[in-house]
Amino acid sequence: MNNNPSKVTPRILSGFMELLPADQMLFNGMLGVIQKSYERFGFIPLDTPVIELAEVLLAKAGGETEKQIYRFTKGDSDLALRFDLTVPLARYVAQHYPDLAFPFRRYHIGKVFRGERPQRGRFREFYQCDIDIIGDGALSLLNDAEIPSVIYATFTALGFSRFTIKINNRKILNGFFESLGLASQAADILRSVDRLEKAGQEAVQQELAGLGAPPNAAREVLAFIGLTGDTAAILSQLKQMQISNGTFHTGVDELEKVISYVSALGVPGQNYAIDLTIARGLDYYTGTVYETVLNDYPGIGSVCSGGRYDDLAGYYTNKQLPGVGISIGLTRLFYQLREAGIITPKSATPAIVLVIPQTSDLRVPLQAATELREGGIPTAVYFDDAKLKKKVTYASRLGIPFIIVIGDDEVAGGYVSLKDMSTGQTSNVSTKEAISLIRAKESANNGSSTDPVSA
């Protein structure tokens, strides 16, 4: 910051995230892992405009979205910034329908914008990392089962092991509330039930009564929500419930099928569970719903959520386009993991080596740098005049793991002086040998460094 009145104070808006290099490297590493994981499942990358016509983006929206959206005019156009990646997907699929092959499996990693009231850990500009599978008219339930396997692979690749993918089916909830004559109060009841852990059984029961639930219905809701056990136990209890509601039973059937395939898709039993309290976006999801929690950090809430919807693009097209998808809110997740000390930055640069020329004829050091890069090793050169100590400090400040010093002795001797910054060990080797040594060390390190989480 400067206080010179003729200068503009350099600053960003509150509610926006901007990272210093080491954190940016960490963030990009997570983003890259997610992208690679999505691609490994054959999801197709998509990139839609940040600015769209307000009419198009707001075709479906209302309430909070209308208030939060960044909307403005330019010339005659009523414009807005996208507030999620789902509405652009719906528009894209409706618009490009004839050119797409269905099921259309797409991922989209990009920034979205919401002018929310700023609060700690909430951002107005943030990355979402979405996958969706869209069917043309119909979409097999097996796709619902694949989603947890993508979540599992992605969070495992991010270095987590103790996380739980909670699975439910909205038809079970809807049918259950219908059977109690409480369909219209479902949203309020779920919100109330959400407070069970904090407020206690008594308080929630009173709240439910206040919502118009007769005492026995309130008891039934609490008993239903309280169903516990492994997936098999919960499914068996659900099937034994005396509920004469078709939607409920369809939901139980769907959940059972999804659960049966999640295991065949290689998701270990400890990483998924049925949770009958998961509802998600009440006016949007129509079947399977997911939330994912980190077992050791429940306070972070769901780190990956989504579900099945019957009608992606009804506001744009008459085509019936059912889909299933999830989203990782990476900006918020990164912020929370970083605040909690679960992840820590390692290096402030992609460079693995800093070449330090200590000779007036730079040809040899420059050729060494080129050779290192051709050997696949990200290499920076310290070009500016400075004492050796300053150059070495530069490398350690950025967390560059190796330095190569080339002075007149090295040039005359035809070798380079390689220093491993973590051990302090120095060796005089050929550039080729340096490449081998660095590669060996880095691949040994990468075995552990793909695991940002110690827990």
Chain positions 291 to 330 lying near a copy of itself, rule: CB under 8 A, are: 313, 315-318
CB count in 10 Å sphere of residue 70: 17
The residue behind tokens 């269905």 is 102
The β-bridge relationship of strands 353-358 and 379-381 is parallel
From 159-167, 239-247, 300-308, 349-357, span contacting a copy of itself (CB under 8 A):
349-357
220 binds a copy of itself (CB under 8 A): no
Q: Shortest approach of a copy of itself to residue 67 CB, angstroms? A: 11
Among 86, 105, 272, 342, binds a copy of itself (CB under 8 A): 105
Nearer CB in complex with a copy of itself: 39/223: 39
Residue 447 lies near a copy of itself (rule: CB under 8 A)? no
Which of these segments, 75-83, 268-276, 299-307, 414-422, binds a copy of itself (CB under 8 A)?
75-83
- The residue within the footprint of a copy of itself, chosen from 5, 12, 76, 202 (CB under 8 A), is 12
Q: Name which of residues 180 to 219 contact a copy of itself (CB under 8 A).
A: none
* Main-chain dihedrals φ then ψ at residue 89, nearest 5 degrees: -65, -45
- Say if strands 402-407 and 353-358 run parallel, antiparallel, or are unpaired: parallel
Of 337, 378, 295, the closest CA to residue 158 belongs to: 337
Q: Does 443 bind a copy of itself (CB under 8 A)?
A: no
Query: Least distance (Å) from a copy of itself to the CB of residue 92?
Result: 7
Among 65, 84, 95, 249, binds a copy of itself (CB under 8 A): 95
Positions in 357-376 near a copy of itself (CB under 8 A): 362-363, 366-367, 369-370, 373, 376
From 22-30, 296-304, 426-434, 441-449, span contacting a copy of itself (CB under 8 A): 22-30
Least distance to a copy of itself from the beta carbon of 213, Å? 37
165 contact partners, CB below 8 Å, separation of at least 6: 148, 151, 152, 267, 271, 272, 273, 290, 291, 292, 304
Q: Whole-number minimum distance, CB 107 to a copy of itself, in Å?
A: 9
State yes or no: cis peptide before 401, omega within 30 of 0: no
Half-sphere exposure of 14 (CA within 13 A, CB side): 5
Contact residue for a copy of itself among 83, 92, 272, 335 (CB under 8 A): 92
The letter for the amino acid at 422 is S
Question: For the window 376-415, what string marks contact with a copy of itself as x by the rule CB under 8 A?
Answer: xxxxxxxxxx--------x--xx-x---------------
Nearer to a copy of itself, 135 or 301 (CB): 135
Nearest to a copy of itself of 156, 247 (CB atom): 156
Size of site (CB under 8 A) for a copy of itself: 108
Task: State which of positions 254-283 bind a copy of itself (CB under 8 A).
Answer: 261, 264-266
Give the footprint of a copy of itself on residues 33-62 (CB under 8 A): 39-53, 55-56, 59
